[in-house]
């Protein structure tokens, strides 16, 4: 499964990342930021994937502007 990482600028296109790559990067960091273009179903699949492997996962929306559509998803994956 591929997910879109949060954009680094407002006009940039989000970069894609494989679920396996997220798992590999867990040794370096535990917080990931995903773009608002990811569907809720995709993010739920991400959470279930890591919970099935014994991780604790916490997700929230982070607003970065006043507009209702200016947000990203912050996901904490903890062993």
Angstrom distance (rounded) from CA 77 to CA 22:
10
pLDDT of residue 72: 96
- State how far the alpha carbon of 70 is from the alpha carbons of 6, 17, 38, 53, 66, in Å: 11, 21, 14, 32, 7
pTM, to two decimals: 0.91
Give pLDDT tens digits for 10-69: 889 999 999 999 999 999 999 999 999 999 999 999 999 999 999 999 999 999 889 898
pLDDT of residue 10: 82
Scanning the chain, the segments in alpha helix (DSSP H) are 19-25, 40-52
Q: Could you state, in order of their start, the residue ranges of all structural domains in the chain?
A: 2-78
pLDDT of residue 79: 82
C-alpha 72: how far from chain center: 8
């Amino acid at each position: 499964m591929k997910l879109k990482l949060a954009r680094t600028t407002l006009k940039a296109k989000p970069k894609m990342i494989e679920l396996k790559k997220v798992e590999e990067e867990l040794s370096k960091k535990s917080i990931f930021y995903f773009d608002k273009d990811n569907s809720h179903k995709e993010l739920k699949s991400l959470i279930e994937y890591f919970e099935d492997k014994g991780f604790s996962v916490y997700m929230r929306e982070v607003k970065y502007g006043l507009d209702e559509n200016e947000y990203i998803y912050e996901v904490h994956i903890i062993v």
